């Protein structure tokens, strides 16, 4: 055994990319192949993400499909789509043969519909083909859409020795064996055991004697996010997927769940920042505009709404002009408080820890915003002293600001709760949506309350 | 084997909590113990999170430490802290004995310093004690702070048969065997093999023949976030941790990484929403105020800054009063655009996909914001027609708004990049920070540019 230990710190350098580009230009496969062989497939994918499409396709066609199938899975989605366009159905089918069923189904699902059937028909391994076709029937946001068909399954009546023999066969197709699932004659899940249990058992023991009947499972139609929550909560690394009759259909592994968690978090974050769809910094200007403009237009309408409101108070300009100087401040406070409240609630809903009665939450939010509002109001009054503003004006501004903060906090808290109760993703209530409505509401309240205090 | 299959959908009901409370009040241990035994420890933790402290401590003292140690790990951090305060050092040490070294070290690290030594001294298993003490020396945000000492280790000179024998011993202490690590005589990591490899090998083969020298590892001082990225990128379920001499020190499993990813995502989200520390909807008003008020004060200062700026343009109020009606709109646009830009960059930096030259990014951001700005400017001009505003005013407002949008986008893009280059977490640049500075800058620019166009 050689003692080389892979250093995990792969650094994608311009030199490396240029070297690869140069070798491709020269069509120097003899140099290129061993160079790329040195890298992990995830690293090669990073290199390909940087190449021109033509060069990327060149590399994919050069390397063997065992490596390129893994590379394909790691590529940026946009780039993968383009690469696949440049491969024949036969070539895609060859890649598919090398992939686990879950990845294979994901790749096929990304193809245009007319190509899907073409590619499937070219898959030679009939069992693989049937399994992939089955997986394609499930919604991608369900347990069925996440699961793979590869798993190790034994019957309760087998002996440990017989089991070991058969497992040697099954395990070849399964990259990582987390658990061995025990089924009855109708293929219904009735238990599990670990390889460790198997190794430490005596060879003549029956599987039924050593298996653990306490096995968690999810239904094939369960929501992917719920599966993620269950696996996180119970610290599971794999979970079997069953149908209504408990028949074992597949298994989901934690690495797929990591992706679900990451995507979910990214989506919520983007929603809070006012970005409507999944975009990356390196997407095209067109894609980015499509993701950003809608929220900005919403914000613009909100702003135009406040123009209207302020026009309505135009006559106050002569008597108390300073009120108009404070409108951006009021809008900012209403917006910030609203975003804070909604973010805490949205996260609480996502993590299932928003409990207790509505009245309690209402009182708490009012108390909290009164404390914050009071602290900020004192600062505004101090500021008024410094710029020698009329005291009654400072008082009017700070009192109405406090009220605006309370209202904004309540809107920020209860809009997500109401949306969630109606089955709408509460994350939509964070960011521009809450900011905009709080801006308008805040400015209106501000003028009305200031008017009551100052008397106009 | 019984055929009961655990249904994974545990639902925490008020009835259940009340039933448990009632049994505790009655001190009816005979009923309580079997009732709780039915549940997974993660579910019992959820029940305890709902109980009074006294009742929670009662349950912890009632159940055996094998179960309660796992429950402790799943409790809300605040509640765990309180429960531990109510246990003696001896009792905590008993819980610690049952935990894996990584969890044990985490629990001890949460204790006040004077209790830490007391608890450690009460641990009876000397090896466990030494391992925990070692783990406590590492920074919690490094690989050392995440790793556990439990792993299965074999020497390259052993045979498969000898290896199987010894593994049966070692594996008892290791909850999940992901990989078996192969070391040389100096305990340096030189390879790995899976249980599957071992099962499928012939018993007389040498470990060196069947092991895989291609083993990823991380250094004990590597940053936890970097470890998370590596494990995600290479789809690893466990990774060995080594020191500078490649001596094997421990291993990190994917479930700990899931927690790192989740925490990181939550932190970024809260930062974007203007919340300075990790709080939950159910924290106390005091905690929540501490997390929210600082950002609000920052926002207030920003708002007061724009009061100053607008006061400087007070004389314009008589000639072009409508400009003042548009200030909340300008501030909102500057804020929204800034948050969008910064969110995309912060996410890009976190996922390592912000590449290419600064000049290219500059041009792209200007192009993008010009497109968005133009679309919004047209809407503002249309609105001007509708409310019969002077065309020159509408023109001044829309042109200066466009400029504000471009500047806000540039600030939102480059502040995170600069922070990141200086080693500061770029996520701090999202949310109120960018909103506030863009508000002030935007309003100033708006008046100056409108002045140039209208001529005041």
Which tens digit of pLDDT belongs to each residue from B325-373? Answer: 999 999 999 988 998 899 888 888 887 777 667 788 888 889 999 999 9
Residue at a domain's end among A143, A165, A181: A143
3 state DSSP class of A155: strand
Q: What residues of B are in contact with residue A166 (Cβ under 8 Å)?
A: none
For residue A384, the chain B residues in CB contact (below 8 A) are none
* Three-class SS state of B219: strand
What was the pLDDT predicted at B6? 44
Question: How much is the pLDDT for B183?
Answer: 94
Reported ipTM: 0.79
CA atoms within 13 A on the CB side of B206: 6
Here the tokens at position A410 are 């309540």
One-character DSSP codes across A61-79: HHS-HHHHHHHHHHS-HHH
Asked if B309 and B442 sit in the same domain, the reply is yes
Contacts of B246 in chain A (CB under 8 A): 5
Residue B67 lies in a domain: yes
Q: How many CB pairs under 8 A join A and B?
A: 378
Nearest one of A133, A180, A173 to A155, comparing CA atoms: A180
The answer, yes or no, to whether residue B237 has pLDDT greater than 60, is yes
Q: Tell me the backbone φ, ψ of residue B159, rounded to 5 degrees.
A: -95, 165
The answer to the question of residue A163 being in a domain is: yes
Does residue B385 carry a pLDDT above 90?
yes
User: Do residues B428 and B389 both lie within one domain?
Assistant: yes
Give which of B209, B220, B206 is closest to B135, Cα–Cα. Answer: B220
Reported confidence tier of residue A452, pLDDT bands at 50, 70, 90: very high
Residue A383 touches chain B, beta carbons under 8 Å: yes
Q: What angle do CA A9, A14, A16 make, to 5 degrees?
A: 65
CB of B106 within 8 A of CB of B77? no
Q: What is the 3-state secondary structure (H, E, C) of B129-189?
A: HHHHHHHCCCCCCEHHHHCECCCEEEECCCEHHHHHHHHHHHHCCCCCCCCEEEECCCCEE
Based on the fold, state whether residues A24 and A112 are members of the same structural domain.
yes
Give the DSSP H/E element, type plus range, for residue B346. Answer: helix B327-350
Are residues B107 and B31 part of one domain? Answer: yes
The helix/strand/coil state of A42 is: helix
Residues A246 and A157 in one domain: yes
Tracing tokens 């009759």 back to the chain, one arrives at A245
Residue (of A297, A29, A252) closest to A149 by Cα position: A252
Do residue A430 and residue B273 have CB atoms under 8 angstroms apart?
yes
In a domain, A301, yes or no: yes
More confident residue, A370 or B277: A370
**Residue of B169, B286, B307 to mutate, testing the A interface (most A Cβ within 10 Å of its Cβ):** B307
B423 conformational bin, left if phi > 0, alpha if psi -120 to 50, beta if neither: left
CA distance linking residue B431 with residue B426, whole number of Å: 11
Over range B152-163, report the average pLDDT: 88
Query: What local confidence, expressed as pLDDT, does residue B270 receive?
Result: 84
Q: Are A439 and A339 in contact (CB under 8 A)?
A: no
Same domain, A188 and A85: no
CATH code, domain carrying A189: 3.10.580.10
A285, B364: Cβ pair inside 8 Å? Answer: yes
Chain B nearest-CA distance from A111, in A, is: 24
pLDDT, tens only, B62-101: 998 888 999 999 998 888 999 999 999 999 999 999 999 9
DSSP label of A88: -
If you ran DSSP here, which 8-state letter would residue B428 be given? G
Minimal Cβ distance to B273: which of A326, A332, A340: A340
Tell me which H or E stretch contains B127. Answer: helix B126-135
Q: Per residue in B125-155, pLDDT tens? A: 999 999 999 999 999 899 999 999 988 889 9
pLDDT > 70 in chain B, percent:
96
Instruction: Kindly report the CATH number assigned to the domain that includes residue A49.
Output: 1.25.60.10
Query: What residues in B contact A215, CB-CB < 8 Å?
Result: 5-6
The minimum CA-CA distance between B143 and chain A, rounded to whole Å, is: 14
Q: Does A368 touch chain B (CB under 8 A)?
A: yes
* Domain match, B57 and B174 both: no
Residue B280 belongs to a domain: no
Last-in-domain residue among A103, A119, A143: A143
Angle at B205 between CA B203 and CA B209, to 5 degrees: 145
A168 and A226: one domain?
yes
Q: Are residues A93 and A235 in the same domain?
A: no
| CB spacing of B269 vs A269 below 8 angstroms | yes
Question: Cβ of B121: how many Cβ atoms within 10 Å?
Answer: 10
Tell me the shortest Cα–Cα distance from B118 to chain A, in angstroms: 30
What span, in angstroms and rounded, lies between the C-alpha atoms of A83 and A61? 10
Query: What percent of chain A has pLDDT above 90?
Result: 50
Query: Residue A234's domain spans which residues?
Result: 152-254
Q: What is the pLDDT of residues B253-305, one digit of tens each?
A: 988 888 888 888 888 888 888 887 777 777 888 888 888 898 899 999 999 99
Residue to substitute from A336, A347, A388, interface B, most B β-carbons within 10 A: A336
Residues of chain A contacting residue B302, judged by C-beta atoms under 8 Å apart: 329, 332
Please report whether residue A270 resides in a domain: no
Q: Is A369 inside a domain boundary?
A: yes
**Nearest by Cα to A56 from A26, A79, A35:** A79
pLDDT in tens, A403-444: 999 999 999 998 998 888 888 888 877 777 788 888 899 999
Burial letters for B53-68: b for 16+ Cβ neighbours within 10 Å, e otherwise? eebbbbbbeebebebb
Q: Which of A129, A136, A134, A195 shows the shortest CA–CA distance to A160? A: A195
A337 in B contact zone (CB under 8 Å)? yes
Question: Which residues in chain A have their CB less than 8 angstroms from residue B158's CB?
Answer: none
What does the pLDDT average to over B387-400? 93
pLDDT at residue B171, as a whole number: 63
Q: What are the structure tokens assigned to B134, written together?
A: 């070692």
Rounded to whole angstroms, the Cα distance separating A13 from A16 reads 5
What pLDDT, on a 0 to 100 scale, did the predictor assign at position B357? 75
Q: Which residues make Cβ contacts (< 8 Å) with residue A362, sequence separation at least 6?
A: A410, A414
Using the predicted structure, report yes or no on whether residue B4 has a pLDDT greater than 60: no
Higher pLDDT, B47 or A358: B47
Confidence at residue A399, expressed as pLDDT on a 0 to 100 scale? 95
Residue A306 and residue A447 share a domain: yes
**Whole-number pLDDT of residue B20:** 93
Of the listed ranges A306-320, B48-62, B144-158, B255-269, the least confidently predicted one is B255-269
DSSP-derived 3-state class of residue B123: coil
Strands B218-219 and B189-193, by their bridges, are unpaired
Within this chain, do residues A319 and A446 fall inside the same structural domain, yes or no?
yes
Flag if A213 and B164 touch (Cβ within 8 Å).
no
Q: Is B285 on the interface with A (CB under 8 A)?
A: yes
Report pLDDT for A175.
Answer: 64
Compute the nearest-CA separation of A412 from chain B (Å).
12
CB–CB contact A307 B292 (8 Å): no
Smallest Cα distance from A59 to chain B, Å: 20
Closest CA to B335 of B444, B413, B437: B437
- Place B12 in a pLDDT band, splitting at 50, 70 and 90: confident
Q: How far apart are CA B409 and CA B415, in angstroms?
A: 10
Distance CA A275, CA A236 (A): 33
Domains of chain A: total: 3
In a domain, B2, yes or no: no
Taking CA–CA distances from B286, the nearest residue in chain A reads A368
Whether the per-residue pLDDT at A2 is higher than 50: the answer is no
Interface test with B, best of A177, A328, A337, A351 (most B CBs within 10 A): A328
- Residue where one domain finishes, among candidates B141, B163, B182: B141
Q: Residue B3: its pLDDT value, please? A: 36
Residue A279 lies in a domain: no
Q: List, in order, residues 6 or more apart from A34 with CB less than 8 Å away.
A: none
Q: Is the pLDDT of residue A190 over 90?
A: yes
Taking CB atoms and an 8 Å limit, are A347 and B306 in contact across chains?
no
10 Å CB burial of residue B446 (0-12, 13-18, 19+) is buried
Q: How far lies A122's CA from each of A99, A103, A128, B450, in Å?
A: 15, 17, 11, 65
- Same-domain pairing of A137 and A185: no
Min Cα distance A26 → chain B (Å) is: 25
* Least confident piece of the model among A101-110, A165-174, B429-438: A165-174
CATH number for the domain including A407? 1.10.357.20
d(CA A295, CA B289): 29
Smallest CA–CA distance, residue A295 to chain B, in Å, is 8
Q: What's residue B344's pLDDT?
A: 87
Residues facing residue A250 across a β-bridge: A241
Tokens 């607008």 correspond to what residue? B310
Q: What is the pLDDT of residue B8?
A: 52
Residues A198-215, mean pLDDT to the nearest whole number: 85
* Distance of residue A140 Cα from the nearest chain B Cα, in angstroms: 20
Percent with pLDDT over 70 in chain A: 96
| For A372, nearest residue in chain B (alpha carbons) | B293
For residues B375 and A168, give the distance between their C-alpha atoms in angstroms, rounded to a whole number.
Answer: 64
Give the N- to C-terminal CA distance of chain B in Å, as an integer. 89
């Amino acid at each position: 055994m050689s003692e080389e230990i892979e250093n995990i710190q792969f650094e994608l350098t311009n030199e490396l990319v240029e070297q690869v580009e140069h070798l491709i230009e020269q069509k120097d496969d003899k140099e290129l192949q061993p160079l790329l062989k040195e890298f992990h497939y995830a690293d090669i994918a990073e290199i390909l993400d940087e190449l021109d499409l033509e060069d990327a396709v060149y590399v994919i066609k050069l390397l063997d499909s065992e490596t390129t199938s893994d590379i394909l899975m790691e590529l940026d989605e946009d780039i993968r789509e383009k690469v696949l366009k440049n491969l024949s159905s036969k070539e895609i089918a060859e890649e598919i043969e090398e992939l686990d069923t879950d990845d294979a189904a994901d790749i096929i699902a990304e193809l245009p519909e007319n190509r899907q059937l073409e590619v499937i028909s070219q898959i030679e391994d009939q069992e693989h083909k049937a399994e992939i076709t089955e997986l394609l029937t499930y919604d991608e946001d369900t347990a069925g859409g996440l699961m793979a068909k590869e798993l190790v399954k034994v019957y309760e009546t087998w002996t440990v020795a017989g089991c070991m023999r058969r497992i040697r066969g099954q395990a070849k197709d399964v990259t990582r064996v987390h658990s061995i699932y025990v089924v009855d004659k109708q293929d219904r899940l009735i238990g599990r055991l670990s390889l460790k249990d198997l190794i430490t058992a005596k060879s003549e023991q029956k599987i039924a004697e050593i298996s653990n009947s306490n096995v968690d499972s999810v239904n094939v139609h369960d929501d992917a996010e719920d599966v993620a929550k269950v696996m996180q909560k119970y610290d599971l690394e794999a979970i079997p997927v069953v149908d209504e009759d408990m028949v074992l259909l597949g298994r989901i592994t934690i690495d797929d769940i990591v992706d679900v968690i990451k995507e979910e978090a990214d989506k919520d974050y983007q929603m809070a920042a006012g970005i409507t769809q999944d975009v990356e910094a390196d997407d095209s200007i067109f894609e980015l505009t499509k993701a950003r403009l809608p929220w900005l237009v919403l914000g613009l309408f909100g702003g135009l709404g406040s123009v209207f409101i302020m026009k309505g108070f135009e006559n106050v300009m002569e008597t108390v002009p300073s009120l108009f100087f404070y409108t951006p401040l009021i809008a900012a406070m209403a917006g910030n408080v609203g975003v804070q409240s909604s973010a805490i609630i949205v996260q609480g809903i996502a993590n299932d820890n928003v409990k207790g009665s509505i009245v309690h939450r209402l009182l708490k939010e009012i108390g909290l915003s009164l404390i914050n509002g009071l602290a900020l109001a004192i600062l505004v009054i101090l500021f008024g002293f410094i710029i020698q503003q009329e005291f009654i004006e400072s008082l009017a501004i700070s009192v109405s600001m406090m009220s605006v903060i309370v209202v904004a906090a309540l809107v920020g808290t209860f809009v997500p709760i109401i949306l969630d109760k109606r089955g709408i993703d509460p994350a939509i209530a964070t960011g521009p949506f809450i900011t905009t409505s709080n801006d308008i509401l805040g400015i209106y309240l501000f003028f009305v309350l200031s008017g009551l205090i100052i008397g106009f």
